[in-house]
Amino acid sequence: MTVGLDVQRLMNNARIRLPGATDDAIQYALFTVMDDFFKGSNTWQEDVDVFVPGGDPAGTVYQLVTETSSTIDKLMWVFQKSTSPNFMRGPSISASMSTPGELVLTTQPSSDITYTATLSLTVQDPTTRDGYVQFPAWVLAKYRNVILDGLVGSMMSQPSKPFSNTTLSVFHMRKFNSKVAAARVEMMRNNTFRQQAWRFPSFSSGSQRGNSGWGGPV
Amino acid sequence: MAISVIPPAIPVSSYISIARTLLQDTVDSPYRYSDSDLVVALNVGLGEIWRLRRDLFLGRSFAPKFDGADNTTDIVPLDEGYRMALVYYIVGFIQLRDDEEVQDQRAAAFLSLFNAKLGTVS
């Protein structure tokens, strides 16, 4: 299997900074780093449509299944699926996901309705046959230096290895953590420059009926 | 220039051969140290690497082990970069059995090199 140029660049950068580290060990650490990155930044999101029949009892659990090979981490928000071609989505609704993948609505609808749940995802096994963890390619292209910092810092924190280096590990992990926080903010703003991370609540521009809670970026 | 992406496969016989060079035991008339003794040293060395650097054997549940001197074409599943560390261990381990003072010093030196190669940039 061919490994992409961006992955080769990441691996080469890691190899240069980690004398004595094997590719297997780097790939193993990469899985953990990507898990930390996605859980901290929420950059990997997927919309899942959920059909809810009217009349289901309160507390009904709806299973959320993603299309990608991934693990569900968080429920970001749930919106009613838009029926209009002019709007991306309908009003937001209140829901929870105590167990990842199990959606529970606060209020059951009285008629059939389709909701769109936005999920934050993280990596999962299996990796590719080459041992590389799978995640969207754009993440590596956009955050290559963040991932490299996490990878190098994580490897350098291992004890009694040729590449062990406590000082540099702390340095790289600090950079990684701060960049993960920055990535989280970027994602909240939909990667749009100077977009505010908040919006006026829905009651300020229309009806006060129904749920008016914050429902994620507009 | 084409770069090979296939990891080099280094057999047991290659380790034995390099170790014999350092042991100055390259003439089979007969050898001072038998192939079986060297394979035992190799197995013990792999066990030590297993203890110190489990990351070199990811995906394995046990340290690799070889049976006697009959299967010296078997591949040692160790990264090429750590070949000399294992060779140093074999040589040091073998020389431990000699009771001459100078051999003890050589054995200690080789075993120190083994530890240094596994745990530091050296």
pLDDT of residue A94: 94
Together in a domain, A38 and A50: no
Closest CA to B79 of B45, B56, B106, B102: B56
Q: What is the distance between the alpha carbons of residues B39 and B19, in angstroms, rounded to a whole number?
A: 11
Please check whether residue A163 touches B, CB under 8 A.
yes
pLDDT of residue A213: 44
The sign of the CA dihedral A19, A21, A27, A31 is negative
Query: CB-based burial of residue B74 (10 Å sphere; 0-12 exposed, 13-18 middle, 19+ buried)?
Result: middle
Residues A73 and A178 in one domain: no
Q: Is residue A212 part of a domain?
A: no
Question: From CA B36, how far away is CA B40, in angstroms rounded?
Answer: 6
Both A138 and A34 in one domain: the answer is yes
Residue A1 has pLDDT above 80, yes or no: no
Q: Are residues A29 and A61 in the same domain?
A: no
Instruction: Please give the residue range of the domain that contains residue A95.
Output: 45-122
Say yes or no: A77 and A178 in one domain. Answer: no
Number of domains comprising chain A? 2
Q: What is the pTM of this model?
A: 0.83
Question: Is the residue at A102 inside a domain?
Answer: yes
Q: What is the mean pLDDT of chain A?
A: 88
A215, pLDDT greater than 60: no
Residues A62 and A32 in one domain: no
pLDDT in tens, A51-98: 999 989 999 999 999 999 999 999 999 999 988 888 888 889 999 999
Interface test with B, best of A16, A127, A161, A164 (most B CBs within 10 A): A161
**Among chain B residues, CA nearest to A27:** B58
Are residues A53 and A118 located together in one domain of the fold? yes
The reply to whether residue B55 touches residue A24, judged by beta carbons under 8 angstroms, is yes
Residues A106 and A153 both lie in one domain? no
Q: pLDDT digit string (tens) for A167-178? A: 999 999 999 999
Tens of pLDDT along B84-119?
999 999 999 999 987 777 788 999 999 999 999 999
Q: What distance in Å separates the CA atoms of residue B76 and residue A206, rounded to the nearest whole number?
A: 72
Q: Which residues contact B11 (CB under 8 A, 6 or more apart)?
A: B72, B73, B74, B75, B76
pLDDT of residue A204: 54
In a domain, A71, yes or no: yes
At A23, list the tokens.
């590719």
Mutate to test the interface with A, among B5, B6, B53 (most CBs of A within 10 A): B53
Determine, yes or no, domain membership for A180.
yes
Edge-to-edge strands, sheet with A113-122: A45-52, A113-122, A71-81, A89-93
From A122, A156, A176, the end of a domain falls on: A122
